[in-house]
Amino acid sequence: MSALTNAIEILRCFSSARPDLSFADVMALTGKPKSSTSRLLRSLRDCGLLEQDPHTRRYRPGLLTFELGRLHRAHDDLISMAERELREVCARTGHTGYIAVLDGYEQVVLRIVPGSNPLRVVNPPGQRTPALATSNGRAMLARLSDDDIRARVPATYPKLPRNSPQNFKQLITRLDEIRRTGVSEAADESIEGVGSQGFALKSGETGEMIGIAVSYSVQATTAAERANVRRELAAMAAKLRRLTGDPLDQDTARIQTGTR
Amino acid sequence: MSALTNAIEILRCFSSARPDLSFADVMALTGKPKSSTSRLLRSLRDCGLLEQDPHTRRYRPGLLTFELGRLHRAHDDLISMAERELREVCARTGHTGYIAVLDGYEQVVLRIVPGSNPLRVVNPPGQRTPALATSNGRAMLARLSDDDIRARVPATYPKLPRNSPQNFKQLITRLDEIRRTGVSEAADESIEGVGSQGFALKSGETGEMIGIAVSYSVQATTAAERANVRRELAAMAAKLRRLTGDPLDQDTARIQTGTR
DNA sequence: AAGGCAGTTCCAAATTTCGGAACCTTGTCC
DNA sequence: GGACAAGGTTCCGAAATTTGGAACTGCCTT
C-alpha cells in the first residue's frame, strides 16, 4: 500500500456528516496503527491537504483542498451551459435546480440554483448521495449498460429510503422505464416530502455526463405544476442535447439492441 | 522524496492561471522523468485527486478536491464572524471586501463580498497572491516577528509591482509603519488603479489569523471617502478584536520588546 | 496519583519508488 | 502511406521509504 493510497484513505474519511476528525477517529476509521496514523496525519497537515484546529486538535480538509476545489471544472463548458439553462427554468418555475456528476454508484452535487419557493437547501455543492435514490442520479445510470451498472452497485445492495428501488432487479425495472419514457422522477426518497424530476446530459464531444434535476415540495405542488416542470425539463433537455451534440439516439439504440 | 511529496508537488502546479495541465506541462513544471510522471499522474487520477479531460487529455483537479474543498469552509467561527461584519461595511460603503489567510509569504482569498460600486472582481476565492503586495497581506505579516517574516520570504526577493516594497528592508520599514499606526494601505499595486485598506485579525482562542480588506478604485474615490473607509475598518477591527479575543496588545508588546 | 488522549521516536524488516530505455497507440502532417 | 510527435505504458534492479510494535512524552481530567 503506497503512501498516496494511505493518504487518500484518510481524506475519504471526511464527509459532510464528518467534516472534522480526531486522531482516534482516523485510527478507528482506517484501522491503522498509531505510529502510522501519526506520521501520515503529520505529512498531510504539513503539505496543506489537512489542517488542524489549534484548539480542539481535530483535523479537517486544508487550504490546498480549498484552492484546488475552486479550480475543479471552473470553466467547464458543459456545466456552465447547463447551469445557464437551469437558471432560467428555476426562475420561471420557482423551484430549486441541481447539477450533479456520477461517481461509482453515488453522485456528487456540483452546482445548485436556489429557487424562489421556500425549500430548505439540504444538498449543498460537494454533497454525496447514492445515485440510486435521486431522479437525476437514476437518469445518469439509465444511460449506462446493465453490466456497467452491476459493476458500480456494491455487492450488498445499499439500504435506501422507502420509495427508492430496494434491490437490483427493482433498480433495473426503474431504469428501463426511464429509458423507455425519457423521464426520471423521484418523490419522498432521500428527503421526506421532497420530489424531483431530472435527466442526464452527455456531451457529444467529450463524453462527460451530468445529471440535471429540478426539486420541489410534494405537498406544495399540484399535479398540473409537476406536469409543467416535466414540459420545462423536456424543452431544456432538447435544447441542451442539440447544443452539446448529445449522442442520445445512438446510445439508446445500442442499449436496446444489446450491442456493447 | 515520498510519494506524497511528489503528489503534492504536482497538485501545487495547478492555479487559477493554470487550471489544467498537459502531461508535458507537468513534466516541465516538476522536472521529473517521464515514467515517474506517468505513474504519479495515474495514481492521482485513479484516487480522484485529479481528473483527465477525455477529449483534450489534460489533467485538472478532481472530484475529491472539490468535495474536500467544500468541507474546508466548515471551520467557520472566526471567518463567518468576520464575513458578517464585512458585509455590513461593504453595504454601507459600496466597496468590495476580502478575507484572506496567510500561507508562507503568500495569501489565499477565502471570501469575497462584492460591493455595489462597479469594480470588476479580479480576486475570486482561492486566488493566491504575494501577501507583500496587498494591504491585508502586509497587515498579517506585520503581526509576525521579523525572524518569522525573514523565514517566509524567499531567498531571492520576488519581483513585485512598482508601489510594493522592492526589497526586504523596504518591507520591514513598511511593516513597522503598520505596527506603529495600526493601518495598512495599498494603492496601484497588484492591480493598476485599485487601492485597499486592511487589517489582520487573530483569534484569541485558536490563534488563527485572517486578513480583512476593503478595496476600491483610486480614481473614483476622494480622500474623504478613503478616510471614511479607514474609520469603518477601525470600528470593525475594534469590534471583531473584542468578539474574538484578539491578543493584539500583548503581541505588539512582545514584538516591540523583542521577546520570543 | 492514575489514566486517557494525542502524539513522537526508534529500529530492522518489508515494501515502494526511482529513472533510463524500449515499446505502444493516436492523431497529424506531408 | 510513412514519418513524426505527443502522451503514455512497461520493465527492471538499485535505492529509498514505509511499516508497525514498543517505549516514552506532555497535557488534561478525574
CA distance A108 to A167: 22
Long-range contacts made by residues A227-230, C-beta under 8 angstroms, separation at least 24? A228/A93, A229/A93, A229/A95, A229/A197, A230/A183, A230/A197
CATH entry 2.40.30.70 includes domain B73-257: no
Chain length of chain B: 260
Is strand C less than 7 A from the beta carbon of A3? yes
Please state which of the ranges B27-31, B134-138, B252-256 shows the lowest mean pLDDT: B252-256
Q: Is the pLDDT of residue B255 over 60?
A: no
Residues of A in contact with B55 (CB under 8 A): 205-207
Mean per-residue pLDDT for B55-76?
86
Q: From the list B66, B73, B103, which residue is nearest A72 (CB)?
A: B66
Is strand C less than 7 A from the beta carbon of A28? no
A2: nearest nucleotide, CA–C1' criterion? C16
- Name the 3-class secondary structure at A146: helix
Which regions of chain A does DSSP assign to beta strands (E)? 50-52, 59-61, 96-103, 106-113, 128-130, 184-187, 194-202, 209-217
pLDDT at residue B239, as a whole number: 84
pLDDT at residue B59, as a whole number: 93
Same fold, B3-69 and B73-257: no
Mean per-residue pLDDT for B43-54?
90
pLDDT at residue B259, as a whole number: 31
CA distance B214 to chain A (A): 22
Confidence of residue B205 (pLDDT cuts 50, 70, 90): low
Question: In the structure, how far is the CA atom of residue A24 from the C1' atom of nucleotide C2, in angstroms?
Answer: 21
Q: Is the pLDDT of residue B53 over 70?
A: yes
Cβ atoms < 10 Å from Cβ of A57: 9
CA distance A186 to A135: 5
Question: In the structure, how far is the CA atom of residue A203 from the C1' atom of nucleotide D1, in angstroms?
Answer: 34
Chain A residue at shortest CA distance from B55: A206
- Which nucleotides along chain C are within 7 A of a protein C-beta? 5-10, 15-22
CA distance A207 to A249: 14
pLDDT at residue A259, as a whole number: 35
pLDDT at residue A258, as a whole number: 38
What does strand D contact on the protein, if contact means CB under 7 A?
A: A 1, 3, 6, 32-36, 39-40; B 1-4, 22-24, 34-35, 38-39, 41-42, 52, 57, 59
pLDDT at residue A256, as a whole number: 40
pLDDT at residue B244, as a whole number: 75
> Mapped to the 3 state alphabet, what secondary structure does chain B carry?
CCHHHHHHHHHCCCCCCCCCECHHHHHHHHCCCHHHHHHHHHHHHHHCCEEECCCCCCEEECHHHHHHHHHHCCCCHHHHHHHHHHHHHHHHHCCEEEEEEEECCEEEEEEEECCCCCCCCCCCCCCEEEHHHCHHHHHHHCCCCHHHHHHHCCCCCCCCCCCCCCCHHHHHHHHHHHHHHCCEEEECCCCCCEEEEEEEEECCCCCCEEEEEEEEECCCCCHHHHHHHHHHHHHHHHHHHHHHCCCHHHHHHHHHHCCC
Q: From the list A4, A70, A207, which residue is nearest B69 (CB)?
A: A70
Confidence of residue B74 (pLDDT cuts 50, 70, 90): low
Chain length of chain A: 260
CA distance B137 to A232: 48
**Whether A60 contacts A19, CB under 8 Å:** yes
Q: From the list B3, B11, B208, which residue is nearest A3 (CB)?
A: B3
Half-sphere exposure of residue A239, counting CA atoms within 13 Å on the CB side?
14
Residues of A in contact with B8 (CB under 8 A): 47-49, 64
pLDDT at residue A255, as a whole number: 40
CA distance A170 to A187: 16
Give per-residue pLDDT as tens, B119-159: 666 788 989 999 999 999 999 999 998 888 998 999 899 99
Residues of B in contact with A11 (CB under 8 A): 64, 68
CA distance A91 to chain B (A): 22
> Hey, are the CB atoms on A72 and B55 less than 8 Å from each other?
no
CA distance A250 to chain B (A): 19
> Hey, are the CB atoms on B2 and A7 less than 8 Å from each other?
no
Q: H or E element: which one contains A205?
A: none
CA distance B11 to chain A (A): 8
Among A74, A75, A77, A144, which Cα is nearest to A104's? A144
Segment of A131-140, B73-82, B187-196, B212-221 carrying the highest mean pLDDT: A131-140
pLDDT at residue A128, as a whole number: 95
Mutate to test the interface with B, among A70, A79, A106, A244 (most CBs of B within 10 A): A70
pLDDT at residue B2, as a whole number: 82
Residue B215 pairs with which residues in a beta bridge?
B96, B196
Cβ atoms < 10 Å from Cβ of A253: 11
**Whether B43 contacts A2, CB under 8 Å:** yes
Cβ atoms < 10 Å from Cβ of A236: 20
Per-position b or e across B69-99, b if 16+ CB within 10 A of its CB? bbbbbebeebbebbbebbeebbeebebbbbb
**Whether A214 contacts A90, CB under 8 Å:** yes
User: How many CB pairs lie under 8 A apart between chains A and B?
Assistant: 145
User: Which triple of cell numbers denotes residue B59?
Assistant: 489533467
Q: From the list B7, B8, B61, which residue is nearest A71 (CB)?
A: B61
- What is the residue extent of each domain of chain A? 3-69, 73-257
CA distance A227 to B163: 61
Please state which of the ranges A172-181, B19-28, B113-122, B174-183 shows the lowest mean pLDDT: B113-122
Confidence of residue B13 (pLDDT cuts 50, 70, 90): very high
Long-range contacts made by residues B112-117, C-beta under 8 angstroms, separation at least 24? B113/B83, B113/B86, B113/B87, B114/B90, B115/B90, B115/B216, B116/B91, B117/B216, B117/B217, B117/B220
Q: Name the residue with the least CA to C1' distance from nucleotide D18.
A: A3
Among A35, A105, A3, A72, which Cα is nearest to B2's? A3
Confidence of residue B251 (pLDDT cuts 50, 70, 90): very low
The one-digit pLDDT tens for each residue of chain A (260 residues) are: 788 999 999 999 999 888 999 999 999 998 989 999 999 999 999 888 998 887 788 899 998 998 899 899 888 889 999 999 999 999 999 999 999 999 999 999 999 998 887 766 678 899 999 999 999 999 999 999 999 999 999 999 999 999 999 999 999 999 999 999 998 999 999 888 999 999 999 988 888 899 999 999 999 999 999 999 999 999 999 999 999 988 875 544 444 433 33
Cβ atoms < 10 Å from Cβ of A220: 11
Mean per-residue pLDDT for B191-212?
87
Rg (CA), chain B: 20
**Whether B73 contacts B93, CB under 8 Å:** no
CA distance A36 to chain B (A): 14
Mutate to test the interface with A, among B63, B109, B111 (most CBs of A within 10 A): B63
Q: Is the pLDDT of residue B237 over 50?
A: yes
Is strand C less than 7 A from the beta carbon of A207? no
Fold of the A3-69 domain: Arc Repressor Mutant, subunit A (1.10.10)
User: Which triple of cell numbers denotes residue B159?
Assistant: 519581483
Is strand C less than 7 A from the beta carbon of A23? yes
pLDDT at residue A93, as a whole number: 95
Mutate to test the interface with B, among A47, A50, A68 (most CBs of B within 10 A): A68
Question: In the structure, how far is the CA atom of residue A4 from the C1' atom of nucleotide C16, in angstroms?
Answer: 11
